[in-house]
Amino acid sequence: MNISVCILTKNCEAKIKRCLELLNEFDDVVILDTGSADRTLDIIAAFPNVRVFQQNGISNFGETRNFLTSKAKHDWVLHVDSDEYVTGKFLNALHRLTLKEDTVYSILLRLVYRNQALLPFDTYSRRLYNKTKTSWSNRAVHESIIIPDGFSQQKIKQPLAHYSFDSLEQMFQKSLWYSSLFAEQFREKKRCSGFGPVWHGSIMFLKFYILKRAFLYGYNGFIVSFRQGVETVLKYAKLYEKSREQ
């Protein structure tokens, strides 16, 4: 397939080997490592279809993804995270797809926690596009591919398996990082009252646990719903603090 796969990495030695093994039919996999201190780079070096670039950290995900995309050999690029695994069904769907330059393709991400697929947390994310026609938005967090006027979107319904976190500690470490990026991005665009964090966090928890029926998935459904609520509390609490500073 004339598609370059783009991946951001940092300290992902536990998952990057499996991620790359499943991408062996792509002739161009481009990695931007943002400061790994574990064996990530040593593992990557064993794959002949992979090229590696490096930078120190990420302050803006949109800018970073655009920089990574600029290194791709092919015009068509697919962004995959280091904790996401392509499935055989996804690859079959990709082979059958007739790519159109005026279309951005959204990929179904299926969260897997403690070896359980959690369908209530299914999300579609824009990941496949022609880099000569569009790019990523310039946002610190929650970046997405821009949809130009006249473009369409198409969903690829066969999922990628998303192993976002393996433990409670890792889960909430990510929440702390994402919430800080969110607050910095929106400090001059949004305002938040002191009650806002509790309100937004409660709504987010109930959305997943009750409305999307994550309670049917037992402990794992509860804890991931709880994490969604806590991350939302942190986002708006940090935003509130920054608003008061201003």
CA dihedral 115, 118, 123, 128 (to 10 degrees): 30
pLDDT one-digit tens code per residue, 42-80:
999 999 999 999 999 988 899 999 999 999 999 999 999
pLDDT one-digit tens code per residue, 70-120:
999 999 999 999 999 999 999 999 999 999 999 999 999 999 999 999 999
| Residues 78 and 156: beta-carbon distance below 8 Å | no
CA distance 208 to 214: 6
| Residues 72 and 50: beta-carbon distance below 8 Å | no
Range of the domain at 178: 168-245
Domain match, 179 and 127 both:
no
- Final residue before a domain boundary, out of 97, 130, 162: 162
Domain match, 194 and 237 both:
yes
Average of pLDDT values for 131-148? 90
Per-residue model confidence (pLDDT) at position 58? 87
Domain match, 45 and 125 both:
yes
Domain match, 46 and 144 both:
yes
- Overall number of domains in the chain: 2
pLDDT category of residue 129 using cuts at 50, 70 and 90: very high
- Final residue before a domain boundary, out of 101, 134, 162: 162
Domain match, 88 and 181 both:
no
